[in-house]
A = this chain, B = another copy of it.
Amino acid sequence: MTAVAAFSFDKLVILGVGLIGGSLARALRERGDVAGARTVIGVGRSAASMARALELGVVDGTALLADDAALRAALAGADFVLLAAPVAQTQPLLERIAPFLDDTTIVTDAGSTKSDVVAAARAALGARIGQFVPGHPIAGRESSGVDAALPELYAGRNVVLCPLPENGQQAVERVTAMWRATGASVSSMSPEQHDRVLASVSHLPHVLSYALVEQILNSPDAALKFSFAAGGFRDFTRIAASSPEMWRDICVANRAALLDELDDYMAVLTRLRAAIDAADGAALEAVFARSRVARTEWQERGGTKVSVGDASK
């Protein structure tokens, strides 16, 4: 008895073969249940990084972005194109590939923000916008580059798709099947909802963590403070070692949602400040206890669900 593979592809083109693009390539080539010719072509700006991806066996072939003929050949007959580059490059990259895209090729992306990506895609693709299914695999590692790519990077992780009104149902289903084949869970929401959720649980914590280190650096006794920083500081600031360029771009790309979350957060801080100033232990304990319950439940449910009960009022 032979099961039918849940996902099949003949040709996938990856623009930007780093951690994110390389891990998708490795997952689809190395994990079990994928059918088809499974050819993966890497496209990038740098000959060295393309050579490295080829050497590691992450891709079967490469093309330089600046090379018209190579790019045309790479894109000819592709089932899928994954854009896995910083979000600020979305529009120029899509403009670059648009003339070479087959009508049946499905394009998706892996950007951390979605409203700006959708706007960039509409500007770049025009009437072809129905071929573009926006996506965001919520996964990463501290290391970057194709050498850090792992076939298991997406296993058990969430991928959010933000389908457009112009997307055909089949295109969305095909991208869903592609990510499921990596072991990820796939769900969908609007670009605005995605950006609000990620601003809250990812972008804001990064800003807050960077801000704490910045505050200490600005203080007259910075060296002393760092000398006595311990486990709480270590956990809280781990994400302050993240890429400054990437987080700069995310903050700018998602600034509307991020500012809303930042304002809400400062309102909570202002409330806690008043309770501390008034030595109102009961008010502080109520907030701390509620947070602990929610954080502990989140952890116990594998970090993906939490009961909010009437706390969400």
Contacts and interface: CB of A to CB of B under 8 A. Distances in A.
Interface stretch (A51-59, A169-177, A305-313): A305-313
Nearest to A297: B226
Interface in A260-311: 261-266, 268-270, 272-273, 276-277, 279, 281, 284-285, 287-292, 294-296, 298-299, 303-306, 308, 311
B288 A210 contact: yes
A231 to B, nearest CB: 7
A214 interface: yes
A138 interface: yes
A247 B212 CA distance: 19
B265 A226 contact: no
A16 B193 CA distance: 50
Contacts of A221: 193, 196-197
A98 B273 CA distance: 36
A152 interface: no
Interface in A228-242: 228-242
A127 interface: no
A228 B198 contact: yes
A205 B233 contact: yes
A2 interface: no
A31 interface: no
A149 to B, nearest CB: 17
Nearest to A213: B291
Interface in A188-224: 189, 193, 196-198, 200-202, 204-224
Nearest to A311: B217
A298 B219 contact: no
Contact of A305 (B205, B223, B252, B273): B223
A240 B308 CA distance: 16
A260 B235 CA distance: 22
A158 interface: yes
A215 B158 contact: no
Nearest to A189: B224
A157 interface: yes
Interface of A: 138-140, 157-158, 160, 189, 193, 196-198, 200-202, 204-245, 247-249, 251-252, 255, 258-259, 261-266, 268-270, 272-273, 276-277, 279, 281, 284-285, 287-292, 294-296, 298-299, 303-306, 308, 311-312
Minimum-distance CB pairs A-B, first 6: A244-B288, A213-B291, A226-B306, A201-B229, A244-B289, A248-B285
